[in-house]
Amino acid sequence: MSSMRVILTEDVPSLGYVGDIVNVKGGFGRNFLIPRNKAMMADSKNVKAMEHAKFIAEHKVKKIQGEFQGLADKMSAEKLTLTHKVGEEGKLFGSVTSLEIEKALSAKGFEIDHRKIGLEKPIKELGEFTVSVKLHKDISADVKIEVVAE
């Protein structure tokens, strides 16, 4: 029974993920994985090419994360002041929504989609609040919002 080493070029359930080097039975590799472009032979040339591709991809991800972290730091340093009409006992007419926060961020030069603003429920009173804005899968910024009477 012969086995062979292959590099997966697709996620294969119960076998591994893209870029994994796995040992499989010869027939499975030659007759299924390689013809369907789910894997390639794990010779030294292909292994080096895959390692180089992984290195380039990791470098790009780190660069992008660094840019998002810089944006998060800038956003966290900002304080948004929103003015609203107020009724008795400091209750707002209407409420502060994620769309309004998006417009205020846009006025400060931050182009953020309102769906990335983590506002659990609309703000309905005066005061200071902190809202989380998700910029990347691991990076978010805490934006300070002050709601004042008009």
Backbone angles phi, psi at 39, to 5 degrees: -155, 165
Q: What are the residue ranges of CATH 3.10.430.100 in the chain? A: 67-149
pTM of the model: 0.63
What is the fold, at CATH topology level, of the domain defined by 3-66? Ribosomal Protein L9; domain 1 (3.40.5)
Numbers of helices and strands, H then E, in the chain: 3, 9
Q: What are phi and psi of 71, to 5 degrees?
A: -65, -40
Note whether 40 and 18 are within 8 A (CB): no
pLDDT value of position 1: 62
Please give the pLDDT value at position 78.
Answer: 87
Let me know if 30 is exposed, middle or buried by CB neighbors in 10 A (0-12, 13-18, 19+): middle
Domain 67-149, CATH among 3.40.50.2300, 3.50.30.30, 3.40.190.10, 3.10.430.100: 3.10.430.100
Q: What is the pLDDT of residue 42?
A: 92
- CATH 3.40.5.10 domain extents, the chain: 3-66
pLDDT in tens, the chain (150 residues): 688 999 999 999 889 998 899 999 999 999 999 999 999 999 999 999 988 988 998 999 899 998 989 998 999 898 999 888 888 777 888 888 889 999 999 998 888 888 888 888 888 888 899 999 998 888 889 999 998 888
Maximum separation of any 2 CA atoms in the chain, in Å: 83
